[in-house]
Amino acid sequence: MFSGDNMLELCKYVFRNENIEYIGALPIESCKIINRSLYERTCLWAKSVILFLVPYYTEDHPERNISLYAVPRDYHSYMASLTDRIVQRLQYLEPDRRFRGMADHSPIAETSAAAQAGLGIIGDNYRLINEKYGSYIFIGEIFTDMVCTEAPKEIGLCLHCGACTNACPSPKNCLSALTQQKGELDEETVMLMKRHNTAWGCDICQTVCPYNEDAVKTPIEFFWQDRIFELTPDILENMSDEELKSRAFGWRKRKTIERNIKLLTE
């Protein structure tokens, strides 16, 4: 039904009811392979990759102590169900083709690929910045053996205003990564977490970015449901193990996030 020059039409058609409007495609040879082992295990057969953006920003809150992406339930569950739906639709329309959905854990450099597909520019914090949703987006991919005739676009860069780099509280070791460490944290990390009131993650480079000043809120219902802006000892204590698993901060298990909340309330 769709092939060759119509590949983007196919992409837009299968995403039409998902509130996802930024979709692009690249030949696989235009992508930088950053995980050769994963690539060879999962999609060595791929000739092209379909890239799409999932906006997640809803709103901010003055008492927020976790990263904005972790306010709703874990985005991985949404991305998994979304790519399953899209692959099923693609397979129905193109039964002789192969498709595989991925997000976050991908064999390619997602940010540069999305920029080459025309979905945004790259900021000094290495985040993709979309013209409508700013950097509050997740990048997803569908690998396929269909042939893409789209030419890669030149990677656009931000204006280098310095807002993100000047505001970063921990340039050598990202504060977001520091909050996710297991075991005992050093004194410097504890002080940073307290100073910036974070029990999980860090959004400083995004919240100061001028491109995010007018970021449009997500139209995707998933990210508006079951939001938690401030993690407290009581909230965590009353959270079942099953619910904890459904949260982005749950991947490091209860002990890690429990430690972080305790540090903030001491």
The pair of structure tokens assigned to 32 is: 């930088």
Residues 133 and 173 grouped into a single domain: no
**What per-residue confidence (pLDDT) applies to 84?**
96
For residue 137, the cross-strand partners are: 55
Domain end position, chosen among 144, 171, 195: 144
**What per-residue confidence (pLDDT) applies to 3?**
47
Residues 204 and 140 grouped into a single domain: no
Give the pLDDT confidence of 157-209 residue by residue, as tens digits: 999 999 999 999 999 999 999 999 999 999 999 999 999 999 999 999 999 99
Mean pLDDT of 255-264: 95
Q: How many CA atoms lie within 13 A of 4 on its CB side?
A: 1
The pair of structure tokens assigned to 66 is: 């976790």
Residue 154 forms part of a structural domain: no
**Which three-class secondary structure string do you get for the chain?**
CCCHHHHHHHHHHHCCCCCCCCEEEEEHHHCCECCHHHHHHHCCCCCEEEEEEEECCCCCCCCCCECHHHCCCCHHHHHHHHHHHHHHHHHHHCCCCCEEEEECCCCECHHHHHHHCCCCEECCCCCEEECCCECCEEEEEEEECCCCCCCCCCCCECCCCCHHHHHCCCCCCCHHHHHCCCCCCCHHHHHHHHHCCCCECCCHHHHCCHHHCCCCCCCCHHHHCCCCCCCCHHHHHCCCHHHHHCCHHHHHHHHHHHHHHHHHHC
Residues 110 and 172 grouped into a single domain: no
**What per-residue confidence (pLDDT) applies to 4?**
45
Write down the pTM of the prediction.
0.94
Residues 9 and 43 grouped into a single domain: yes
Domain end position, chosen among 83, 110, 144: 144
Residues 239 and 185 grouped into a single domain: yes
- Do residues 156 and 173 make contact, with C-beta atoms less than 8 angstroms apart? no
Mean pLDDT of 47-59: 97
Residue 66 forms part of a structural domain: no
Residues 129 and 236 grouped into a single domain: no
**What per-residue confidence (pLDDT) applies to 2?**
52
Least confident of 133-137, 149-153, 181-185: 149-153
Residues 125 and 28 grouped into a single domain: yes
Separation of CA 51 from chain center: 12
**Pairing outcome for strands 121-122 and 128-129:** antiparallel
Residue span of the structural domain in which 136 resides = 4-57+74-144
Residue 149 forms part of a structural domain: no
Residues 90 and 196 grouped into a single domain: no
Residues 258 and 172 grouped into a single domain: yes
Q: For residues 115 and 129, what is the distance between their CA atoms, to the nearest angstrom?
A: 9
Question: So which residues are the catalytic ones?
Answer: 104
Give the pLDDT confidence of 97-133 residue by residue, as tens digits: 999 999 888 999 999 999 999 999 999 999 999 999 9
Residue 231 forms part of a structural domain: yes
Domain end position, chosen among 87, 113, 144: 144
- Do residues 22 and 1 make contact, with C-beta atoms less than 8 angstroms apart? no
Residue 157 forms part of a structural domain: no
Residues 178 and 230 grouped into a single domain: yes
Closest CA to 96 of 210, 3, 173: 3
Mean pLDDT of 223-251: 96
Mean pLDDT of 134-151: 94
Q: Taking all residues of the chain, what is their mean pLDDT, rounded to a whole number?
A: 94
**What per-residue confidence (pLDDT) applies to 5?**
52
Give the pLDDT confidence of 1-34 residue by residue, as tens digits: 554 457 788 888 999 999 999 999 999 999 999 9
- Do residues 24 and 118 make contact, with C-beta atoms less than 8 angstroms apart? yes
Residue 134 forms part of a structural domain: yes
Residues 47 and 175 grouped into a single domain: no
For residue 141, the cross-strand partners are: 51, 102
Residue 103 forms part of a structural domain: yes
Residue 225 forms part of a structural domain: yes
Q: How many CA atoms lie within 13 A of 180 on its CB side?
A: 15
Count: domains in the chain: 2
Residues 47 and 85 grouped into a single domain: yes
